[in-house]
Structure 1
Amino acid sequence: MTADPIRTCVLSREEAPREGLVRLVLGPDNQVHPDVRAKAPGRGGWIGVTRVELEAALAKGKLRGGLARAYKTGDFTIAADLPQRIEDQLRRNALDRLGLESKAGFLIVGGDRIGEAARSGKLRVLLHAADASEDGSRKLAQAWRVGSDREGSDLKGMTLPIDRTILSLALGRENVVHAAVTDPKAAKRVSEALTRWLHFIGPDPAPLPCETGSQGASAASADDARGPAGTNEGP
């Protein structure tokens, strides 16, 4: 299996797999554009910093200097809204990934289904909408720890910075409060997309829980009463 290509952040000079960085491409219009899927033609530079750090580097001219070295030219323009455009692309990429995994049958919603998957050792990632009840999320996390024989650990689901309305739209479902990924490869794809987005918007979250062993989760009645409860660089 080929290792992920390593790239160097033009700002921090730290090396990391390209899957964890964001590519900035120099377009034919001499503008710098975000290319989070790393598919656009043209010269590219990579960043692995947060939005706050990027905005500071942009204001101080450090981003221009780093990109000039990567592009081997200083003939380009950086729009003031570049950080927002990067965030928008990362958000869309992450939500698209969730939608693709849902369509492929690797992502499930509904407390009963999540509980069944957990008890049969299929739960890999557990996600909560921002407006999920604390009690519901806590019960699911506790059930996951019990089912994966990790009681007393800090294993828990990830609360996303989107509410159930947006999560439901991304998955093409109604009233999604919690979601879970059951396929190990899909879990890796989802984790990469979500972690890159969440790292950029900050504050930097803990690594997204992603399990490959037997896990457990159960339904949370408080969320079920309101409705159904509950990641690639794709082609």
Structure 2
Amino acid sequence: MARSEATTRLCALTREEKPVTQLIRFVLGPDGVMVPDTDAKAEGRGVWISLDRDAVAQAVKKKVFGRSLKCEVKVPDDLPALTQRRLEQRFLSALGMCRKAGQIVTGATKVRALLASGELIALLTATDASPDGRSKMVGPLKALHYGAEEEGIVGFDVPHIELLSSEQMGLALGLENVIHAALMNGAAARSALEKARRLALYSAKHGQSDSDRDAVGADILSNGME
């Protein structure tokens, strides 16, 4: 059963209590090495850190893991990068599940048709897409949001996700390369959106207040929508 937003844990670095949706768990493996437990389901002693690459780097630097567990632990120097790769893998696997469930379409023509119908819950664009190709998708998506606003539709939000390369998306979906894709409503697609949010939040750049970071995942998912 998924943890709710109300479930909280203590960040071992900042000592702040936060919802688990804003944290990531690390677990001590049988070999004494700390590894990211991105699903927060692994057995063993765990340490929670804010879902933030800089925070994980600081936790490594300040030896937070060993201090929290009160024992000697091995912490890989590349733990921040390893954690990002694990979060990317979870998102990629989720996209593969969307394909099996029939909740994702690919290709510019099919994606434009879905945009025209409004029957999508997220637009995906490869990070290496051309500016022209990107604008041809983002324009109609903006129009959807403007239309919903004019009609007074509350809570309408179709995020624009740019987190993966065309090669990464292609591998996840069993295709050569994927530049444009769209998610349709369904359990698999909603799960993929949550994994995208966590990856976006972890990768976010800093210089923001803690209160601003509460919304940073949504900001990145809506990249270019302002």
TM-score by length of 1: 0.74
Q: Which residue of 2 aligns with 1:111?
A: 108
Q: CA RMSD in A?
A: 2.8
Give the 5 Å matches for 1:33-48: 33-48=35-50
Distance between the aligned counterparts of 1:136 and 1:105, measured in 2?
A: 24
Contact 1:22 1:47 (C-alpha < 8 Å) held by counterparts:
yes
165-174 or 51-60: bigger deviation: 51-60
Q: Which residue of 2 aligns with 1:159?
A: 162
Q: Which amino acid aligns with 2:221?
A: L
Q: Alignment length, in residue pairs?
A: 203
Distance between the aligned counterparts of 1:151 and 1:173, measured in 2?
A: 36
Higher RCO (Cα < 8 Å, 6 or more apart) = 1
Q: Which amino acid aligns with 1:119?
A: A
Post-superposition offset of 1:101: 0.9
Contact 1:21 1:196 (C-alpha < 8 Å) held by counterparts:
no
Q: Secondary structure at the match of 1:24?
A: strand
Contact 2:13 2:55 (C-alpha < 8 Å) held by counterparts:
no
Q: Which amino acid aligns with 2:111?
A: I
1:145 aligns with 2:142: yes
Q: Note the residue ranges of structure 2 that are not aligned, 5 or more in a row.
A: 151-156, 207-215
1:96 pairs with one of 93, 96, 107: 93
The percent of aligned pairs where both chains have the same amino acid is 34
Q: Which residue of 2 aligns with 1:12?
A: 14
Distance between the aligned counterparts of 2:177 and 2:84, measured in 1?
A: 25
Q: Which amino acid aligns with 2:82?
A: R
Q: Which residue of 2 aligns with 1:59?
A: 61
Q: Which amino acid aligns with 1:75?
A: E
Post-superposition offset of 1:126: 0.6
Q: Which amino acid aligns with 1:31?
A: V
Q: Note the residue ranges of structure 1 that are not aligned, 5 or more in a row.
A: 210-235
Q: Which amino acid aligns with 2:20?
A: R
Give the 5 Å matches for 1:1-235: 3-4=4-5, 5-65=7-67, 68=68, 71=69, 73-148=70-145, 149-150=147-148, 157-160=160-163, 162-183=164-185, 185-203=187-205, 206-209=219-222
